[in-house]
Copies of this chain bind each other. A is one copy, B any other.
Amino acid sequence: MTRFAVIMAGGLGERLWPLSRKETPKQFLRLLGERTLLQQTVERIALLVRREDTYIVVGRQHVTSVREQLPDLPLRNILVEPMGRGTAPCVGLAATRLSRVDPSGVMIVLPADHAIADEERFLQLLNDAATVASAGTHLVTLGITPNHPATGYGYIQALNHFVASGPSTGSEVLEVERFAEKPDLETAERFLQEGGYYWNSGMFIWRVDAILREMKEHMPKLHSALMEIEQHAGTPTYEENLERIYAKQEANSIDYGVLEKSEHVLVIPTGDIGWSDVGDWSALGGVLETDEVGNLIRASHIGVDTSNCTIISRHASDKKRLVATLGLSDIVIIDTDDVLLVMDKSRAQEVKKILKIQAAEKEDKRNLE
């Protein structure tokens, strides 16, 4: 059985603006250390999946970044999406491509921009999931065991119905009752109280033929579009046809399009593996080590009565710019060459509002010209 990794690197990372930009979204940034999130994701999986079976799905404008950051990756393993249409077409495109290689192989689908502290445990879980998935009957997803009533993630409710224990670790494998959208705080608190709810991590494990079969059942239009694209494979007009057909697809996520509708979905609770989607500036403080008063500082900084703040300056290394703070707590300061962002940490999810205003202002200006 072939094991494939499919790493989805098409995200925009807008909530990590202004470090994350359209030109260089967060997966291509060294947010957590010396290596970019994409590099860390690829390296993390390397013990489980051979490099030649590791695929990156990415937008055309970021192919250069992928090649620069992963010089060892075979060129053919970069799958180019002509445009973003959500994770359903993305996964579908990868699955049709992989079915040429080994339709009974297992695909491990991973976002390119997550942080995982306990890599050993994570690999054990993936290994279990791959074993379960290799039977070809089920779609498997990793469910992050929640440690607080987060409102920024979708939840997966598991049936209190033990299906199997993971072969290598004895991890639980549970049947999925339903997928719940991002809840309000009250609902999230109820989920945690009731138990049996897990964060939808966006990490999936299934056989190539299994996901295509389920896609054919629940997203027949997308499936036939993918089949049509595949007919052009290897021809000089492949790119052109891919773009034409892709453009017509409705944007949809694999979660809504397939997993919610399928009756063959299993969830493996991860327990505490130190997972984070590094989704916004507030999350970053949870991943990286903070000082004794909760500050995460990447800047030449002088602080008086400053606590629980995240302060990042592009000029941190050259020491030419000082960031001084006085009487601040729970404030995020992101200082780049052309943008300074200062915000209340609890509002980190709302950074997109600024981008919307900026886009509207640009539009107004364009209309005036």
Contacts and interface: CB of A to CB of B under 8 A. Distances in A.
A341 B327 CA distance: 11
Interface residues of A, number: 34
Secondary structure class of chain A's binding surface, majority of residues: strand
Given A327-B344, A343-B326, A346-B327, A304 B338 contact: no
A358 B322 contact: yes
A328 interface: yes
A190 interface: no
Contact of A342 (B331, B338, B351): B331
B326 A335 contact: no
A101 interface: no
B344 A328 contact: yes
A203 interface: no
B322 A350 contact: no
Nearest to A354: B324
Contacts of A323: 339-340, 342
A331 B331 CA distance: 10
Interface in A303-323: 304-305, 313, 320-323
Contacts of A305: 347
Contact of A322 (B302, B327, B328, B339): B339
Contacts of A351: 326
A148 interface: no
Contacts of A100: none
A343 B361 CA distance: 28
Contacts of A322: 338-340, 358
Given A302-B358, A327-B350, A347-B327, A342 B342 contact: yes
